[in-house]
Amino acid sequence: MTKNIFSLCLVLLGVCALTAQNARGQTQAEPDTALRMLTTQQQQFEQGIVKVSDNVFTAVGFHGANTSMIVGTDGVIIVDTLMGPTSAANALATFRKYSDKPVKAIIYTHSHGDHIGGASAFVGDAQPDVYAADGFGSAEGVNQAVDPVKARRNVRQFGRNLPPTESTNRGVAPTGTIDHDRGKGFLPPTVTVPSSGLKATIAGVEIEFHIGPGETDDAMFIWLPKEKVLFAGDNFYSSFPNLYAIRGTAYRDVLSWSESVAKMAELKPHVVVPGHTMPIQGQEAATTALTDYSEAIRSVYDQTVRGINAGKGPDQLAHEVKLPEHLQDKPYLIQFYGSVPHAVRAIYTGLLGWYDGNPTTLNPLEPRLKAKKMAELAGGTQRLSAQMEAALAKNDYQWALELADHVKWLEDADRELARKVKIEALRGLAAREYNAPNRNYYLSYANELESGQLSDLWF
């Protein structure tokens, strides 16, 4: 672990000093280093147009995701449309410097809102075909019963309420995106791509649609055989993939994700255009990136499955599973967005549900009772609280958090002190995080605790 972080810091930034406690988290480094890494990652989504081939242009940084324009003989094709019409119109205005031909077709790589909500801005009065995979939208329909809590967790993961002094980015997307018109420009699909895929010629451009489940079941990747350009959707971007989103998601089929990326690599593209972050150009670079990405996902999956079958639980596996050494320093696999430990937990739950097979966890103690017993073990509530403060003083932030979460249940404790310790410990962890969702979540939660937005028991 230490070697991993150390070497990637060397690659990215030159110097990286680590302390013992920081080596605990897979995505933690010294505060200056973590911040510099995240700042460097911002180059991946700075606003601009990338010419990826003679007739293909990708707009990066106009919202969180990318949108691309393929120029044909008598029209253009748009791949993904950003979150809403305002950002889409901004991207289109820039595209128009390269071609003023009418939009003949729109393609959604998958149904997430940041790829579909701006379509109307591209079409004007025309009625182009809108292509999407069979089962389009299936990812959006699940878990609606828990939308209220998912919305709160979404705000934290993306740091939507963070002040500028605490804001960095979202791992594969900038902060401060235009969101007031989200979804307002969505146009429903008119052409369904079947599971066997589809080949078409649109505006004189040969184009292939391949079904490729991964981040969502309705994902597809788009291949231009003549230009050798591949549009990967969100199954590839420059970061270890978000195999699980801490805002709360149903299981994402990790094995299918790896297989879909392997199929992309078989095409040996000259350019891969990700759903987010900069295109990767050059046949060797693009193909290697896809091969590595598929292997990384598969390795995390296989290690987790082996551990499960050896009887290990998710807590243990989340700390044991690592990226293979030869992939650890690849710039497109650094855990700015997705995280290996979270992926391991998601795979565990996705395959087996919550139960870890240990009878101790079949019916664990109720949290308030467990807190009382922890206090007894420590020699009383005062001593447990003192341990909590001592952990914070030693920058042992995770332990401070875990103790604070016991102290908060104790009626004879200084709960206000526990709340303050939790706030400080969260900020201590956040300062050392280069995984953007973790960092944003820690900071957002600390701010909510400080401003009294959470209940007495911090839910």
What residues from 421 to 450 belong to the interface with Zn ion (CB under 5 A)? Answer: none
Question: Shortest gap between Cβ of 92 and Zn ion (angstroms)?
Answer: 19
Which among 32-40, 98-106, 234-242, 448-456 is the span making contact with Zn ion, rule CB under 5 A? Answer: 234-242
Q: Is the CB of 114 or the CB of 389 nearer to Zn ion?
A: 114
Q: Which long-range contacts (CB under 8 A, 24 or more apart) does 120-124 make?
A: 120/85, 120/88, 120/184, 120/185, 120/186, 120/187, 121/81, 121/85, 121/86, 121/88, 121/89, 121/92, 121/185, 122/78, 122/81, 122/88, 122/92, 123/187
Does the footprint of Zn ion cover residue 80 (CB under 5 A)? no
Size of the site for Zn ion (CB under 5 A): 5
Question: Shortest gap between Cβ of 275 and Zn ion (angstroms)?
Answer: 5
Question: Shortest gap between Cβ of 229 and Zn ion (angstroms)?
Answer: 19
Phi, psi (5° rounding) for residue 400? -60, -40
Exposure b/e, 332-350, CB count within 10 A at least 16 = b: bbbbbbbbbbbbbbbbbeb
Q: Is the CB of 186 or the CB of 348 nearer to Zn ion?
A: 186
Does the footprint of Zn ion cover residue 179 (CB under 5 A)? no
Q: Is the CB of 173 or the CB of 254 nearer to Zn ion?
A: 173
Q: Is the CB of 65 or the CB of 430 nearer to Zn ion?
A: 65
Using a 10 angstrom Cβ sphere, with 0-12 exposed, 13-18 middle and 19 or more buried, the burial of residue 21 is middle
What residues from 46 to 65 belong to the interface with Zn ion (CB under 5 A)? Answer: 65
Does the footprint of Zn ion cover residue 114 (CB under 5 A)? yes
> Quick one: which of 234, 356, 389, 396 contacts Zn ion (CB under 5 A)?
234
Q: Is the CB of 237 or the CB of 442 nearer to Zn ion?
A: 237
Question: Shortest gap between Cβ of 60 and Zn ion (angstroms)?
Answer: 13
Question: Shortest gap between Cβ of 64 and Zn ion (angstroms)?
Answer: 6
Q: Is the CB of 29 or the CB of 65 nearer to Zn ion?
A: 65
Q: How far apart are CA 119 and CA 67, in angstroms?
A: 10
Q: How far apart are CA 378 and CA 444, in angstroms?
A: 31
Q: Is the CB of 65 or the CB of 106 nearer to Zn ion?
A: 65
Binding mask 244-283 for Zn ion (x = CB under 5 A): -------------------------------x--------
**Contact (Cβ atoms closer than 8 angstroms) between residue 56 and residue 79:** no
Residues that bind Zn ion (CB under 5 A): 65, 112, 114, 234, 275
